[in-house]
Amino acid sequence: MFNLILFGPPGAGKGTQAIKIAEKFGWKHVSTGDILRAEVSQGTPLGLKVKSVMEAGHLVSDELLIEIMESVFVKNNAVNGFVLDGFPRTLKQAQELDGMLHKLGHAVTMVLALEVNEEELVKRLLKRAQEQGRLDDTEDVVKNRLVQYHHHTKPLIDYYKEKKLYQEVYGVGSIEDIFSQLCSVIKT
């Protein structure tokens, strides 16, 4: 089973590229951001719990994310690959993911990071705010999401570099060009 983590700061294009990769390789796309947003819009108990956290641009607790991912793996035990988009985002989540996959007899296959400068990230997210009105795309919240990324998520680069799983692709340019670069480094 191919377990690809698509990694990068908010706005790097993870969601955009994850959908295309999952379609091309026939893998299951799992976006923890999408899962959480669906809970919020349906007003479930989980959604009510995480709404204000997400709107402030903070990370949802590791415990909740781990619970969500455990159920994703249970429900999708017949797939031949995963594209994980937005998970893991903390060291604790990364360690728990290793444990979950290990129990299933699997492991992370590769971590592909989209490298995008901060000016471009802010530009993209503010554009999306105008187009889609996502509540966590306002200027202050975007800044906070970037702070959270630097503080909690960026350290995962070293974690995966040590495991020799980490690879970077330049994430500025056309969506199609970036997609073909990503595909060229995915060796199935």
Q: Which residues bind ligand B4P (CB under 6 A)?
A: 10-16, 32-33, 36, 53-54, 57-60, 65, 86-87, 89, 93, 124, 128, 136, 145, 175, 178
For residues 6 and 17, the answer to whether their CB atoms sit within 8 Å is yes
How many Å apart are CA 81 and CA 3, to the nearest integer?
A: 6
The HSE-up count of residue 148 (CA atoms within 13 Å, CB side) is 19
Beta-carbon contacts of residue 65 (< 8 Å; ≥ 6 apart): 32, 87, 88, 89, 93
Q: Is 134 a catalytic residue?
A: yes
Closer of 33 and 81 to ligand B4P (Cβ): 33
Q: How far apart are CA 174 and CA 188, in angstroms?
A: 24
Q: Which is closer to ligand B4P, CB of 87 or CB of 166?
A: 87
Shortest CB 163 distance to ligand B4P, Å: 19
Minimum CB distance to ligand B4P, residue 104 (Å):
19
Active site residue 187: no
For ligand B4P, the closer of residues 38 and 80 by Cβ is: 38
| Active-site residue, selected from the candidate residues 14, 20, 37, 124 | 14
E strand residue ranges, 35-119: 81-85, 110-115
Instruction: Classify the C-alpha dihedral 42-43-48-51 as positive or negative.
Output: positive
* Long-range residue pairs from 91-97, CB within 8 A, at least 24 positions apart, any chain: 91/152, 91/155, 91/156, 91/159, 92/62, 93/62, 93/65, 93/66, 93/69, 94/156, 94/159, 94/160, 96/62, 96/66, 96/69, 97/69
Known active-site residue 124: no
Q: Out of 49, 51, 128, 143, which one is annotated catalytic?
A: 128
Least distance from ligand B4P to the Cβ atom of residue 81, Å: 19
- Output the smallest distance, CB 111 to ligand B4P, in A: 14
Query: Which one is catalytic: 24, 89, 127, 143?
Result: 89
* Least Cβ distance, residue 147 to ligand B4P (angstroms): 11
Q: Which one, 108 or 178, has the nearer CB to ligand B4P?
A: 178
Annotated catalytic residue, options 49, 92, 123, 134? 134
Q: Phi then psi for 83, rounded to 5 degrees?
A: -110, 110
- Kindly tell me which of 1 and 53 has the beta carbon lying closer to ligand B4P: 53
Active site residues: 14, 89, 128, 134, 145
